[in-house]
Each structure stands twice: as C-alpha cells, then as structure tokens.
Amino acid sequence: MNVLDYLADGFMTALQWHNLLFAFIGVLIGTSVGVLPGIGPMSGVALLIPVTASMTSGLPAEAAATSSIILLAGVYYGAMYGGSTTSILLNTPGESSSVVTTLDGYQMAKQGRAGPALSIAAIGSFAAGLFALVALILLAQPLSNVAIKFGPADYFSLMLLGLCAVSGLAGKSITKALIMTVFGLLLATIGMDTVSGVARFTFDIPILYSGLEFLTIAVGLFALGEVFKSILERDYIAGQTSKIGRILPTRKDLKDSAGPIARGSVLGFFIGILPGAGATLASFFSYIVEKKISKNPESFGKGNIAGVAAPESANNAASGGAMIPLLTLGIPGSGTTAILMGALIMYNIQPGPLLFEEHPQVAWGLIASMLIGNLLLLVLNMPLVKVFAKVIQTPAKYLIPIIIAISIFGVYAVQAQIFDLILLLGCGIAGFLLARNDFPLAPLVLGLVLGPMIENNMRRALTTSNGDFMIFLQKPMSLTFLIIAVLWILVPILLKRRGKEVVVNEEG
C-alpha cells in the first residue's frame, strides 16, 4: 500500500462518528485550556488521560488507543490556538508559545482591531496546521532521519542563536534586550541542579528547590503588568474603551498576513521537528524573522498584523512538526508529546519506526483526525470572533478584576501554592516598572524557557568531548549556528556605528 491508501484508511477511521466526537471534544477542551493561563496543553492532556481511558473502555484495544490519542492530540493543538485569544484581548498569554502574540495582538485590540487580530490568528493556525499535516504525511521519514543527527552541541548553538536573535525584539536598545535575556537565564538557574543535586540560589527556602514556574512569571509580567499600568497611569479614564470596528480582516490584512503565515508555517514546522525546541522557540523565531525582513520594523510592537500572523502560524505548525519524532522515532520533543507517548504505551502501542507498520490504524487515524480537528477549530472559532472581540469593550472597572481573577485562578490551579501568588504579584510590579523604562519583557521570558535546555545540552556536549569546548566549533551545524548568532549581534552594531560616522562626516 502507498501513502495515499494508508491516508484513505486513516480518514475512514477518523470519520467514524465516535472519533469525530472525540476530535470535537478534544479541540473544544484544548481551546478552553489554551485560554486559561497557567493550565497549558501539558496539564490538560495529562488530566484527560484517565478520562479518555474510561470513555473508551468498551472498545477493542487498538480502537480505544486510536480514539484516546485523537482526543488528546485535539487538546494539544487546540490549546495552541486558544492561547492567542487572551493574549490578544487581555495581554494574558494562555501558555508559553502565546507570549509573542501579546506584543502586537494586544496593541491591535487596544486600537479597536481585536476582530481582525483574532480572525488572522484562526486563519493562520488553520493554514499552518494544514501545511504541517501535508508535510508530516510526505516528509516524516526523511526529516526524522535528519533530526536524529542533531547532537547536543548543535542544540546548544541553536538555542544560543535563539537568545542572540531576541535582540530583534529590543525596543530602542539592544543592550537592554540583552540585559533582560541574561536576567531570564539567571532566573532559570534557580532550583536544584539536576546533575549534581546542588541547590542554586534557593537561600535554603524549600519552595525554591523546584525552581520558578515559567507561566507565573509570564502572566505576572504581561497581564498584571498591564493591570498596574492601567491603574497607576489611569489610562482607563471613566471606563472609556476603544470601539470594535470590523470583525473580519480586510483584503489588505489578508495580503499583509499571507507572507508571515507561509513563512511562520515553514519555520515552525522545521523547528517543531527538533526535539526540545518546541512551539515557544518557533513563535519567537518567526516573529524575529518577520521584524528583520519587514520594510517597517518600527511598526512591530505597535499593532502590526504580521506580529500576530507569524507566531500563531509557527506555534501551530510546530505542534504538527513535533509529531514526527514522536511517531517515527519514539522520541518526544516536548513535555506534551512525552505525555502523548505515555498514553500510547499505556495501550501497549510503542511509538517508533515500527508504528506505521504494526499499528497503521492508530498512526494514520491520528494524522487524518488532526486534519479534521484543524477544520473543526476554524469552524468553531471563526463565528466566536465577534463574541471574543466584544470582551475588549468591557468597561475597565469590570475588565481589570476579570484579568486579575483569570491570572490568579490560572496560576493557583496549577501550583496550588501561596508563594506563586506572591511571585505573580511581584512580577506584575516588575513588569510595569520594566516596561515603563523601555526594558523589553519578551527576551526575559525566552531566556527563562531556554535556560535549562542550553545548560543540559552544553553539559551533554562537554561530557562527550571530555570537557573540550572546541566541540562547539568542530561540529558543522553547531559552527554555522554560532556564526549566525555572532553576526546577528555584530551587524546591527556595526551598521549603527557606520551610520553615526556618516552623520558626523556630513556635519563636518
């Protein structure tokens, strides 16, 4: 049988009424999970494993596994879409990969363009999901062979490139962006060292042994930071809110978004294939690329629709790309795919090279259901754009308490610790003060996410080379990433200096 025959069989499985119902329930729960900050796809999928097991208890083993994984995967990519809703409307990232969407999405909402922002997020997510699935069908095997050749040195250099690239997210100062990146890396070191077991920067406070929760910091910096700005600077005067104009994007919006959606889909998919890289890195990279190639880079962060289209496409494409190493190699590339892998193993189905041969119903049924699920997401969310967009018209005296309640509930539901609520409040104050003084918040968040990955991969690389740092220059891919990273920092500095010299000469 060829690929098309297997895919046809997959659609026959996915279009069974109970599997359609599971796909619908999955994307519906996933969207809700994405909207609520702090829960995220990983927690959502983990919580639903016992529920799906009881729901499919009457089915044969392979059919039960197929139905369960269809529902759980629906939660995964549904959450990728849902995170954009509160990012755009309330400046509250639902999960880590939606942090970048706040930069332009929230500004569009404040300008009365919440409708087009939400519509483009939905269209971009659908287009990226469609691209990722076609690529998954055609390229799964060859791409998984390439991804497995990436060693720890290559990953270290790729992550370092990601950190250097955040200079592209700088406001007026690259120096301030790099300061925030380093601060994010420092926060990432708090907790128990996984290798030596030594407590770092915990000051003998037991609650710090597990480190700082990423989403507590992200929600505090962005959501509560914005709340403090509204209260302290009184920019909500007498409940004035911006009027919502068009709900659907204009022809110009679609034209401006087409390129970012296409580039975000491709970039997100290929980053998603790399184990450990994930949707967060994909969304940051796609945003940075769009800002670099834009004719008006200064418009980013002020409501440029490309700043919504690119990261939203990238994080959805990355979730499709992450399925490649999971299904073809049995290597989970993220926490969520690790939980999906655990769910499959629970049904005695081992992901890996033999999955497509031994359990084609599960593998191809899942791929077909992801296509159906993406269509369901579009159908489900496009009519709700008008409803969602109305949220931004809620008077500030009601909206501010709602944002605070969502933030507190989201953080406490996951951590269930008073310490995290205190940290949330502290990060809210810090977010307000940093933003007020033109310190960009996104680099801190990326430093916090990539810090543990950078450290782990550096240690693994140095272990294989007996402590020789030359391994990072000896590996061709690693060397390439490092050269690009250095150029990314140096070229803007040299161009700026050259521009100043030209101005001085002209004045002389």
Residues 6+ apart with CB under 8 A from 210: 191, 192
Judge whether 182 and 439 are in contact, CB under 8 Å: no
Q: For residue 184, what are the CA distances in angstroms to 296, 445, 451?
A: 28, 6, 8
458 sits in which H/E element? helix 442-464
Q: How far apart are CA 458 and CA 5, in angstroms?
A: 44
- What was the pLDDT predicted at 239? 41
Tell me which DSSP letter residue 195 carries. T
Identity of the residue numbered 229? K
Q: How far apart are CA 300 and CA 285, in angstroms?
A: 14
Q: How far apart are CA 471 and CA 124, in angstroms?
A: 39
Residues 6+ apart with CB under 8 A from 173: 438
Among the listed residues 335, 91, 358, 40, the one whose alpha carbon sits nearest the alpha carbon of residue 224 = 91
Q: How far apart are CA 303 and CA 206, in angstroms?
A: 42
Cα angle value 336/338/341 (rounded, 5°)? 115
Q: How far apart are CA 218 and CA 196, in angstroms?
A: 28
| CB neighbours of residue 498 within 10 Å | 10
Strands (E), 130-273: 191-192, 199-200
The pLDDT tens digits for 207-266 are: 888 888 777 887 888 778 878 887 887 655 444 444 556 677 888 888 889 999 999 999
Among the listed residues 109, 68, 86, 83, the one whose alpha carbon sits nearest the alpha carbon of residue 31 = 83
Judge whether 126 and 119 are in contact, CB under 8 Å: no
Reduced to 3 states (helix: H, G, I; strand: E, B; else coil), residue 199 is strand
Tokens 């940075």 belong to residue: 288
What count of Cα atoms within 13 Å lies in the side-chain half-sphere of residue 243? 2
Q: How far apart are CA 242 and CA 234, in angstroms?
A: 15
What count of Cα atoms within 13 Å lies in the side-chain half-sphere of residue 295? 1
Block mean pLDDT (10 aa), the chain, length 508? 79 88 88 70 75 77 85 84 80 76 87 86 89 83 68 86 68 79 90 83 87 81 81 58 64 89 91 73 87 85 89 88 78 72 81 77 86 86 73 71 80 78 92 87 79 86 90 91 86 73 57
- What was the pLDDT predicted at 246? 67
Judge whether 91 and 106 are in contact, CB under 8 Å: yes
Tokens 């989201």 belong to residue: 410
φ, ψ for residue 192, nearest 5 deg: -80, 130
Please state the length of the chain.
508
- What was the pLDDT predicted at 241? 44
- What was the pLDDT predicted at 373? 87
Judge whether 220 and 425 are in contact, CB under 8 Å: yes
- Domain residue ranges of the chain, discontinuous segments joined by +: 3-497
φ, ψ for residue 199, nearest 5 deg: -80, 130
- What was the pLDDT predicted at 73? 86
Q: How far apart are CA 346 and CA 8, in angstroms?
A: 27
**505, burial (CB in 10 Å: exposed 0-12, middle 13-18, buried 19+):** exposed
